[in-house]
Amino acid sequence: MYPFDTPPPENPTLEMLLDTIHERRPQTDLTMVKLAYEFADEAHQGQIRKSGVPYIIHPLCTAITLAKMNMDPTIVVAGLLHDVPEDTSVTIEEIEKNFGAEVAHLVAGVTKLGKIKYRGIERYIENLRKMFVAMAEDIRVVIIKFADRLHNLHTLEHLQPKKQYRIALETLEIYAPIANRLGMGEMKGQLEDLSFKYVFPKEYAWVRGLVEERYEKKEAYINEIRLRLEQELNASGIKFISVEGRLKRLYSLYQKLLKHDKNIEKISDLLALRIIVNDVADCYATLGIIHKLWRPLPGRIKDYIAQPKPNGYQSLHTSVFCEKGQVVEFQIRDEQQHINAEYGIAAHWSYDEADPDTNKSRQLRWVRELAAVGDAMERLKDLENLKIDIFQNRIFVFTPKGDVIDLPENATPVDFAFAVHTQIGNQCAGARVNDRIVSLDQPLKSGDVIDIVVDKTKRGPSADWIKFVKTNHAKGCIKQYAKRSLSDWIKAALPSRGK
């Protein structure tokens, strides 16, 4: 169920890869995969990984991860070949001759991305930009890169400490946030936890210790709650696919601890129960049953099904007072929402080709979820081009610290200011784009670095900004302020009548 949780197999074989594909896609013709394996094995002949194993183990593990993610065979084949042009004398042209243009294009993309080397914070933005360019061209390249990075992180112990740190830091700062943006929750979590150990070793040991200690105490309790809920669901005739305890990931726990005085007692979602059901109606029915059994904490019910997160994530979350007054968080979603939460954008390539009708409905659903990211998606007709179009009408700009903000095409510095923080939008007085002062209505371009000049004496946004802002968020903020100041004005102008 959680393909990245398990470390890579110690002695991976071609059979393992073929079995993994066959289990998920029984109809797949495995000839190409076998040929790609032989081709890569031959090309990497004599090369040894730092860990002392033959080089082919690395592309093989990368391909197994992609197969576990249910990626289509083209992507798996590209995964097997991904290091061939970089590390051997075999060229992209030869790959194209043997495996076709699509595979060659993917391998070339991964090779190009491999040339991005992180060199300190000053090149951070430059690297990020290259990553986004690769993504806009073909997101599958980035998915292969994630699988590649995952195996490199699993075998990081064999490298020099300096290199370990560089790769882990790059993963934390660039790869994981992108995986998150693409809605690949499991991938993001794994990338973070594997890097955490190397970037913050002391903090990692501390958090891990905390979790192990608490987990022992909580495990039995959570199991009781799980059984109680399963009973109740059965009694109500709600069929569930699974109910399982879910431990919070170490790195995200660490970040939460930093916000809560480093006090683990304040973290209520350390161990959550995740319930997977058949459809959305059952999600809400399950929520009702939980609230009938246990009293919900006020303000902690989150309906990400009706209002998905910007990356497409959908689930119901609630925290309740369970037996013995303990707070337990529940996450409820249907199966497709679960697959999307784990694989995000990658789920788009994981359809069962044998059933085109299911594919169609799943694709549309996936697009609908993405529609929440940007209204440009509504115009999307050709689903084949989804990989390019997702980012085509979005731009990525940066704060002076290097945080990425994504905005619709032609967004202005005012949209940016509101996207960063409402207060910054309200007090926005000027803007510098790439160190040049610009007018507040100037359209931004991907890669711009924007510095907002704030006037602390300013009480709210100018009403005429409404004419040029592009985001609904900025529009909403400006309108809301105008309404409020108008009613203030009316109140001040009208003599109080009393009651």
Shorter beta-carbon distance to Mn ion: residue 83 or 170: 83
Q: How near is the Cβ of 161 to Mn ion at its closest, in Å?
A: 21
Within 10 angstroms of residue 389's Cβ, the number of other Cβ atoms is: 20
Part in contact with Mn ion (CB under 5 A); list of ranges 143-151, 300-308, 452-460, 489-497: 143-151
Part in contact with Mn ion (CB under 5 A); list of ranges 147-155, 198-206, 334-342, 481-489: 147-155
CA distance 310 to 480: 22
Residue 448: helix, strand or coil by DSSP? Answer: coil
- Are 453 and 468 in contact, with CB atoms under 8 Å apart? no
Q: How near is the Cβ of 145 to Mn ion at its closest, in Å?
A: 9
Number of residues located near Mn ion, criterion CB under 5 A = 2
Question: Of these residues, 87, 94, 137, 203, which one is catalytic?
Answer: 87
Q: In this chain, which residue has its C-beta nearest to Mn ion?
A: 148
Instruction: Give one word for 262, left, alpha or beta, with left for phi > 0 and alpha for psi -120 to 50.
Output: left
Part in contact with Mn ion (CB under 5 A); list of ranges 39-47, 76-84, 159-167, 235-243: 76-84
Shorter beta-carbon distance to Mn ion: residue 111 or 427: 111
Shorter beta-carbon distance to Mn ion: residue 150 or 277: 150
Q: How near is the Cβ of 79 to Mn ion at its closest, in Å?
A: 9
| Residue 192 sits in the site that holds Mn ion (CB under 5 A) | no
CA distance 328 to 318: 8
Part in contact with Mn ion (CB under 5 A); list of ranges 77-85, 185-193, 232-240, 485-493: 77-85
Pairing outcome for strands 302-303 and 316-321: antiparallel
Shorter beta-carbon distance to Mn ion: residue 70 or 111: 111
Shorter beta-carbon distance to Mn ion: residue 47 or 361: 47
Part in contact with Mn ion (CB under 5 A); list of ranges 80-88, 210-218, 383-391, 433-441: 80-88
| Residue 148 sits in the site that holds Mn ion (CB under 5 A) | yes
Q: How near is the Cβ of 34 to Mn ion at its closest, in Å?
A: 20
Q: How near is the Cβ of 87 to Mn ion at its closest, in Å?
A: 8
Q: Please report which residue ranges of 326-401 form alpha helices under DSSP H.
A: 335-343, 356-371, 386-392
CA 135 to centroid of chain Cα atoms: 14
Residue-wise burial string across 150-182, b where 16 or more C-beta atoms lie within 10 A, e elsewhere: bbbbbbbeebeeeebbbbbbbbbbbbbbbbbbb
CA distance 32 to 14: 12
Between the CA of residue 360 and those of 32, 67, 336, 354, what are the distances in Å? 26, 22, 14, 12
| Residue 186 sits in the site that holds Mn ion (CB under 5 A) | no
Shorter beta-carbon distance to Mn ion: residue 114 or 447: 114
Backbone angles phi, psi at 33, to 5 degrees: -65, -45
The token pair that represents 293 in the structure block = 């059994």
Q: How near is the Cβ of 78 to Mn ion at its closest, in Å?
A: 12
- Give the chain's largest Cα–Cα span: 92
CA distance 415 to 374: 14
Shorter beta-carbon distance to Mn ion: residue 83 or 415: 83
| Residue 80 sits in the site that holds Mn ion (CB under 5 A) | no
Shorter beta-carbon distance to Mn ion: residue 150 or 397: 150
Question: Of these residues, 5, 23, 42, 86, which one is catalytic?
Answer: 86
- Are 286 and 276 in contact, with CB atoms under 8 Å apart? no
Please tell me what DSSP assigns to residue 444: P
Q: Please report which residue ranges of 411-457 form alpha helices under DSSP H.
A: 413-420, 422-426
Q: How near is the Cβ of 348 to Mn ion at its closest, in Å?
A: 23
Q: List the interface residues with Mn ion, window 394-423 (CB under 5 A).
A: none
Cα 152–Cα 153–Cα 157 angle in degrees, nearest 5: 95
Q: How near is the Cβ of 44 to Mn ion at its closest, in Å?
A: 11
Part in contact with Mn ion (CB under 5 A); list of ranges 5-13, 140-148, 280-288, 429-437: 140-148
| Residue 83 sits in the site that holds Mn ion (CB under 5 A) | yes
| Beta-carbon contacts of residue 134 (< 8 Å; ≥ 6 apart) | 109, 112, 113, 141, 142, 145
Q: Examine the residue annotation and report whether 87 is marked as an active-site residue of this protein.
A: yes
Pairing outcome for strands 428-433 and 327-334: unpaired
Residue-wise burial string across 444-478, b where 16 or more C-beta atoms lie within 10 A, e elsewhere: bebbbebbbebeeeeeebeeebeebbbbeebeebb
The packing angle between helices 185-199 and 250-259, to 10°, is 70
Q: How near is the Cβ of 128 to Mn ion at its closest, in Å?
A: 20
Between the CA of residue 321 and those of 77, 124, 137, what are the distances in Å? 49, 44, 48
Shorter beta-carbon distance to Mn ion: residue 148 or 192: 148
Residues that bind Mn ion (CB under 5 A): 83, 148
Q: Which residues are catalytic?
A: 86-87
